[in-house]
């Protein structure tokens, strides 16, 4: 597969330099391309990308479905290879793009899971805020719920990104796009306490002696990872004796759901979440059964007896 390395190196440079793609995005592009090159070798094509036509692409798609991949995974692979061939066309390495007219399978859109306020309230009372780690955990929970930011955006926050004068945090999202997200009073209090006390104590535990700019630190004073945040949330759920699964993304779902349930504008929520397409935000337009029932009971003329 000598051709694989030659093609991918130039394409990955294009993604990094021209498209400013994140390492996460590049990782999946590489994985999708490698899968396609392996398929070509099994078909005896030996990396001959210019000979790939519509019929070969259909055989490739059949092989993907035979692996019982989800529609979403197949769609991602098609999109990756379509972009790859678009780049090859631009560089005049192939004459046509065989993925150009391949339609993406319709993706399933499951309703995102979210937490009810009763569940959240229990979590908010778990952390021992007299300790550095408790202060940090409370600040993470409050900030994730207050802003709806992704876990990767949370771990990427720097101390200087928090502005207490106007209560906003500067978030670097997908494609390194920046946006300002506001946070409320509860998150402000938790962040202030953590930064003024707990973070300083955690910072002092760094063995290297130099300061880190990361906002959230682990018990050794090093920047906290996404895995670390997931473990923190799991521990909080167990201590709260809740029978729920929780992860940072569920808090993001909860933020969006609660905002929309309380009447927030869909486009405003789109901006806060950092979604490029409004359709990505529309999956949150479902409402909880309790909220729907309350709206009905308070609005329908014959929903309840007149006083």
Structure confidence by residue, pLDDT tens digits, 204-218: 998 876 789 999 999
In a domain, 254, yes or no: no
pLDDT at 135 over 70: yes
For residue 162, pLDDT over 90 is answered with: yes
User: Which of 174, 179, 206, 250 does the annotation list as catalytic?
Assistant: 174
Q: Does residue 195 lie in a domain region?
A: yes
Token duo for residue 105: 């399978």
Domain membership flag for residue 279: no
Most confident segment among 3-12, 135-144, 200-209, 290-299: 135-144
* Catalytic annotation, pick one of 76, 77, 252, 258: 252
Q: What is the mean pLDDT of the chain?
A: 87
Confidence band of 1 (pLDDT split at 50, 70, 90): very low
Q: Catalytic site residue 116?
A: no
The residue with greater pLDDT, 183 or 40, is 183
What does each C-alpha distance from 13 to 83, 125, 239, 270 come to in angstroms?
A: 14, 48, 46, 31
Query: 124 with 141: CB under 8 angstroms?
Result: yes
Q: Give the pair of three-digit tokens for residue 103.
A: 């339609």
Domain that holds residue 159: 117-244
The mean pLDDT value for 59-82 works out to 88
Question: pLDDT tens digits, residue range 78-116?
Answer: 999 999 999 999 988 889 999 988 887 765 556 678 888
Q: 166 and 237, same structural domain?
A: yes
- Work out the pLDDT band at 290, boundaries 50, 70, 90: low
Inside any domain, residue 256: no
Q: Are residues 128 and 219 in the same domain?
A: yes
Summarize pLDDT for 263-275 with one digit per residue, the tens. 888 899 999 999 9
Question: Which domain-ending residue is among 210, 244, 278?
Answer: 244
CB 139 within 8 A of CB 193: yes
Residue 291 predicted with pLDDT over 80: no
Query: Active site residue: 77, 136, 150, 199, which one?
Result: 150
Averaged over 226-253, what is the pLDDT? 89
Residues 85 and 122 in one domain: no
306 occurs within a structural domain: no
Judge whether residue 53 has pLDDT over 60.
yes
- Options 19, 249, 250, 291, the catalytic residue: 249
Report DSSP letters for the chain, one per residue: -HHHHHHHHHHHHHHHHTS---HHHHHHHHHHHHHHHHHHHHTT-TT-GGG--HHHHHHHHHHHHHTT--HHHHHHHHHHHHHHHHHHHHTTS-S--TTTTPPPPPPP-PPPP---HHHHHHHHTTS-TTSHHHHHHHHHHHHHHHH---HHHHHT-BGGGEETTTTEEEEE-GGG-EEEEE--HHHHHHHHHIIIIIHHHHHTT-SS-S---BSSB-TTSSBPPHHHHHHHHHHHHHHTT------HHHHHHHHHHHHHHTT--HHHHHHHHT-SSHHHHHTT----HHHHHHHHHHH-TTSS---
Residue 249 is a catalytic residue: yes
Q: Are residues 189 and 234 in the same domain?
A: yes
- The tokens describing 27, both together, are 């990782």
Domain endpoint, select from 198, 222, 244 = 244
Does residue 237 sit in the same domain as residue 121?
yes
Query: Has 252 been annotated as catalytic?
Result: yes
Residues facing residue 170 across a β-bridge: 180
Cα separation, 49 vs 51, whole angstroms: 5
| Angle in degrees, 0-180, between the axes of helices 2-17 and 71-90, rounded to the nearest 10 | 90
Please say if 85 is a catalytic residue.
Answer: no
Residue 113 in contact with residue 84, Cβ under 8 Å?
A: no
Confidence (pTM): 0.63
- The token duo for 25 is 């995005």
Looking at the structure, tell me whether residues 78 and 127 fall in a common domain.
no
* Higher pLDDT, residue 288 or 226: 226
Q: What's the pLDDT band for 201 if we cut at 50, 70, 90?
A: very high
Mean pLDDT of the region 14-42: 87
Q: Please confirm, yes or no, whether 109 is among the known catalytic residues.
A: no
pLDDT number for residue 305: 62
Q: What is the pLDDT of residues 115-133, one digit of tens each?
A: 888 889 999 999 999 999 9
Active site residue 275: yes
pLDDT in the model for residue 18: 87
Give the per-residue pLDDT at 143: 97
Number of independent structural domains in the chain: 2
pLDDT greater than 60 at residue 283:
yes
Q: Is the Cβ–Cβ distance between 210 and 222 less than 8 Å?
A: no
Residue pair 249/151 in contact (Cβ under 8 Å)? The answer is yes
């Amino acid at each position: 597969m000598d051709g694989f390395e030659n093609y991918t190196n130039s394409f990955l440079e294009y993604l990094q330099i021209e498209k400013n793609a994140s390492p996460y995005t590049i990782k999946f592009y590489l994985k999708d391309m490698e899968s396609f090159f392996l398929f070509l070798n099994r078909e005896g094509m030996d990396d001959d990308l210019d000979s790939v036509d519509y019929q070969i692409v259909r055989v490739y798609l059949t092989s993907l479905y035979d692996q019982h991949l989800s529609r979403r995974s197949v769609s991602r692979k098609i999109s990756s290879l379509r972009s790859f061939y678009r780049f090859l066309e631009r560089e005049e390495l192939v004459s046509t793009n065989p993925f150009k007219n391949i339609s993406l399978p319709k993706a399933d859109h499951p309703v995102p899971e979210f937490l009810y306020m009763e569940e959240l309230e229990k979590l908010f009372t778990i952390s021992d805020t007299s300790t550095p780690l408790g202060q940090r955990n409370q600040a993470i929970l409050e900030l994730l719920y207050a802003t709806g930011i992704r876990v990767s955006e949370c771990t990427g926050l720097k101390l200087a990104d928090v502005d207490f004068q106007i209560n906003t945090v500067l978030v670097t999202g997908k494609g390194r796009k920046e946006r300002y997200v506001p946070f409320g009073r509860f998150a402000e209090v938790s962040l202030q306490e953590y930064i003024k006390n707990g973070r300083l104590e955690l910072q002092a535990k760094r063995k290297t002696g130099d300061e880190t700019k990361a906002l959230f630190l682990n018990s050794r004073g090093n920047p906290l990872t996404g895995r670390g945040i997931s473990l923190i949330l799991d521990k909080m759920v167990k201590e709260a004796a809740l029978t729920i699964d929780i992860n940072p993304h569920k808090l993001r779902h909860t933020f969006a759901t609660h905002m929309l349930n309380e009447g927030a504008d869909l486009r405003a929520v789109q901006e806060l979440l950092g979604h490029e397409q409004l359709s990505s935000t529309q999956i949150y337009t479902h409402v909880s059964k309790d909220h729907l029932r309350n709206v009905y009971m308070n609005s329908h003329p014959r929903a309840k007896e007149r006083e």
